[in-house]
Amino acid sequence: MKISELLQLLNKLAPQGLATSWDNVGLQVGLPDWQADNILLTLDVTQSVVDYAIKNKYNLIISHHPFIFRPINSVTRPDILALAKHNIAVIAMHTNLDVVPEGVNYALAEVLGLKITGRLSDETGSTWYHGSVMVPPLYIDKLAEAIHIAGAGRIGLYDRCSTRHDITGTFRALEGSSPFIGKQGKFEKVDEIELEFMVDSFNLTAVKKAIADNHPYETPAVYFTVVENTNPAYGLGLIGELDIGMKLTAFAEYVKYKLKAPYVQLWTADKGKTSEVKTIAICGGAGGSLIHKATGKADVFVTGDINYHAMLESKIPLINAGHFYTEYPILNKLNIMLKEQNIETSVYPLKKHEINNNLLI
Ligand SMILES: [Zn+2]
Ligand SMILES: [Zn+2]
């Protein structure tokens, strides 16, 4: 498979347009027509990962954290040069993979045995648009189908969502036009349907093209308006339920065991070590900024990278299980998903990976 084809596949899982504006995702080393037959999945592209990829003849690394994050003025980094020399490409799937339904937090919820009930935050890098197009009744189904295929009409866990109203459209075709209905210079009143739908910014170009390709009019009346809210399909962090409630300390032990973490840090927020927990908020990676979103909605919040003061101020019990261990589960999930597509993949082994990231002495 070519990298360009693989990127299309990965974009279905985690559209690059969902990444936040400060992020850097997508193809970072290599060319779209390079082959991707043997893929290594990792959270980070460290020098050890580069050496491992060269030694084991991988031709693509998919990393959660961007390999190239800050802009660079020259290509003198030995790790970049080594990868380029061996024709090993790098793709980053970062905040786009954090916010999708089958992404980082979904994998974490699965490992922790949670039944997902909601999201913590609607934050993504995408803008949501309301679209509206006027169509003659005979063409409505064909046009609606085309824009749905192009990605419009997805709202949360529903797709093909639209609103249709019978309307009367008016127009007068001016000189030089080729009207589909009526004659030049004549004021027309026609039956039309207004098709309304929602579309995420990363599908907007495809939807505009679908309208241009499938609408019978020379100049369709079509409007897009940015809305204030975001698509509930995407967002950071999840809330889920345990089958059976546990004592807070027992749950902390359970998290440590399930994530294979060397330790976890528990902040009880004065709730008592034996308080019962059943509704769990989670955010893989650095979730400190979501503590306020989890407060009042869950019995405990599991994340990584919580700083001292954020912890002290938290009114919800916290389990700090580490950035690395709360995100590692997505690699196994990606591995399974890609193997189902007959793509040769493997995960950079936990023991090799964690030594680079968490040298505990
Ligand atoms: Zn992440
Ligand atoms: Zn991360």
Domain membership of residue 243 (yes or no) is yes
- Domain boundary (205, 226, 247) is at 226
CA of 284 from ligand 2 middle (Å) equals: 7
- Mean pLDDT, rounded, of the chain: 95
Q: pLDDT at position 123, please? A: 87
- Ligand closest to 286 (CA) is 2
Question: H/E/C letters for each residue in 262-327?
Answer: CCCEEECCCCCCCCEEEEEEEEEEECHHHHHHHCCCCCEEEEECCCHHHHHHCCCCEEECCHHHHH
Question: What CATH number should be reported for the domain holding residue 251?
Answer: 3.40.1390.30
| 134, 221 Cβ separation under 8 angstroms | yes
Do 109 and 139 lie in one domain? The reply is no
- Ligand closest to 104 (CA) is 1
Do 117 and 264 lie in one domain? The reply is yes
CA of 345 from ligand 2 middle (Å) equals: 21
What is the reported pTM?
0.91
- Ligand closest to 324 (CA) is 2
Q: pLDDT at position 356, please? A: 57
Average pLDDT over residues 73-96: 97
Domain count, the chain: 3
| 360, 94 Cβ separation under 8 angstroms | no
Provide the sign of the torsion angle of the four alpha carbons 12, 347, 260, 317, taken in this order: negative
Alpha helices in 112-164 (DSSP H): 140-149
Do 67 and 148 lie in one domain? The reply is no
Average pLDDT over residues 211-220: 97
Do 208 and 286 lie in one domain? The reply is no
CA of 295 from ligand 2 middle (Å) equals: 22
What does each C-alpha distance from 359 to 47, 258, 330, 354, 356 come to in angstroms? 15, 20, 22, 8, 7
User: Does pLDDT of 358 surpass 60?
Assistant: no
Question: What CATH number should be reported for the domain holding residue 212?
Answer: 3.30.70.120
Do 105 and 92 lie in one domain? The reply is no
Do 33 and 51 lie in one domain? The reply is yes
CA of 98 from ligand 1 middle (Å) equals: 5
Q: pLDDT at position 40, please? A: 98
CA of 20 from ligand 2 middle (Å) equals: 13
CA of 94 from ligand 1 middle (Å) equals: 6
CA of 198 from ligand 1 middle (Å) equals: 27
Q: pLDDT at position 98, please? A: 97
- Ligand closest to 236 (CA) is 1
- Ligand closest to 283 (CA) is 1
Q: Domain of 200?
A: 128-226
CA of 286 from ligand 2 middle (Å) equals: 6
Do 214 and 242 lie in one domain? The reply is no
Q: pLDDT at position 280, please? A: 98
Do 71 and 28 lie in one domain? The reply is yes
Residues with CB under 5 A from ligand 1 (ion): 98, 104, 285
User: Does pLDDT of 112 surpass 80?
Assistant: yes
Q: How confident is the model at residue 352 (pLDDT cuts 50, 70, 90)?
A: confident
Do 90 and 142 lie in one domain? The reply is no
Domain membership of residue 343 (yes or no) is no
CA of 215 from ligand 1 middle (Å) equals: 41
Average pLDDT over residues 135-152: 97
Q: pLDDT at position 135, please? A: 98
CA of 93 from ligand 2 middle (Å) equals: 10
pLDDT tens for 12-48 read: 999 999 999 999 999 999 999 999 999 999 999 999 9
- Ligand closest to 97 (CA) is 1
Domain membership of residue 347 (yes or no) is no
pLDDT tens for 286-326 read: 999 999 999 999 999 999 999 999 999 999 999 999 999 99
What CA–CA distance (Å, rounded) separates 357 from 292? 28
- Domain boundary (166, 193, 226) is at 226
- Ligand closest to 330 (CA) is 1
- Ligand closest to 69 (CA) is 2
Of 286, 296, 347, 360, give the one whose Cα is nearest residue 41.
347
- Ligand closest to 25 (CA) is 1
Average pLDDT over residues 157-184: 95
Do 116 and 85 lie in one domain? The reply is no
- Which H or E run includes 111? helix 104-111
CA of 94 from ligand 2 middle (Å) equals: 7
* 3-class DSSP assignment, residue 43: coil
Domain membership of residue 55 (yes or no) is yes
User: Does pLDDT of 360 surpass 70?
Assistant: no
Domain membership of residue 360 (yes or no) is no
CA of 99 from ligand 1 middle (Å) equals: 9
User: Does pLDDT of 357 surpass 70?
Assistant: no
CA of 285 from ligand 2 middle (Å) equals: 4
What CA–CA distance (Å, rounded) separates 318 from 269? 8
Domain membership of residue 74 (yes or no) is yes
Do 133 and 76 lie in one domain? The reply is no
- Ligand closest to 98 (CA) is 1
Do 274 and 205 lie in one domain? The reply is no
CA of 95 from ligand 1 middle (Å) equals: 6
Q: pLDDT at position 351, please? A: 85
Average pLDDT over residues 327-354: 94
